[in-house]
Structure 1
């Protein structure tokens, strides 16, 4: 490796071989869904084929949540999941946002109980920042999309 490459922080550790990279990214898609894909599936109407699960506290849920989501705080997953969820239906978990791993902990607990599960990347923060409707104790709300997180008035093309 040349001295130019070792000084470059991006290439200090070289990229994985293409086959390894493909396996990694394929696996990542098996574990994650993004906010816009979840929103599109829910907006298509009918049964989306999954349940959205908000794993935050009741106070957080009341502050705002994805319409139609099931509320089940992470700590209560082991004792209440069987009452609220069907093990044959995939679950998409979310928490506050990218800096919170509550959705990851909830997804782990659900997987250990036998549920097929994915985590919604970006959580509730990105749901709101991308301009999707949400519910609060006072009713439904929608905020303008943040142009730093979602293209305004267009599909991002990804």
Structure 2
């Protein structure tokens, strides 16, 4: 019996966005933006998004310069929410935001998780009302998956961190 060794095809990288050889890929089919454009893009993303670890760190440190808003239904809120969050369902934003939120305080809004646009809709509604707002990426799903405590109708609860989303033996991911 003869075994065949697979032939390796080599490729060299040419000018940005091109590749020579027989192993084309899509990664650089559209070249990266200019550094200044990339800096503006990523700064804009950070101006509108934050993550659960940063929100948790701020709340644990006693931050009073922001308010966290849970935009889900009452049933979802009762099931578990970020401790200290304000409950303001997206459907009630236009009617209730001015009674509940101070327009001078930035709002961090969240919903279920990355598969849900609820927080995005809530953030849009708040921005249209004149609030400075960020969306908490990952929502309550990643808050729970990272092992942070939630407040439920029955009281505080905490599940173990999911090692796919949070380091098992460290305080944070280091990013």
Tell me the TM-score normalized by structure 2. Answer: 0.86
Give the one of 25, 31, 37 matched to 2:48.
31
**Ranges of 4+ aligned residues in structure 1 off by more than 2 Å:** 1-7
Deviations along 1:50-93, whole A, 9 cap, x unmatched?
Answer: 00000001111111100110001101100000110000000000
Structure 2 unaligned blocks of 5 or more:
1-17
TM-superposed deviation, 1:4 = 5.1
> RMSD value over aligned CA atoms?
1.4
Per chain length, whose mean CA-contact separation is higher, i.e. which structure has more relative contact order (CA < 8 Å, sep 6+)? 1
Instruction: Considering fraction of residues, name the structure with more helix.
Output: 1
Query: Deviation at 1:153?
Result: 2.8
Q: Which residue of 1 aligns with 2:19?
A: 2
Q: 1:120 to 1:8 in 2, by over 3 A?
A: same
For residues 168 and 32 of structure 2, the distance between their equivalents in structure 1, rounded to whole angstroms, comes to: 33
Aligned residues: 157
Contact 1:90 1:117 in 2 (8 A): yes
Shift of 1:16: 1.0
The equivalent residue for 1:157 is: 174
SS at match of 1:16: coil
Which structure's CA Rg is the greater one?
Answer: 2
Match of 1:97 in 2: 113
Unaligned 5+ runs, structure 1: none
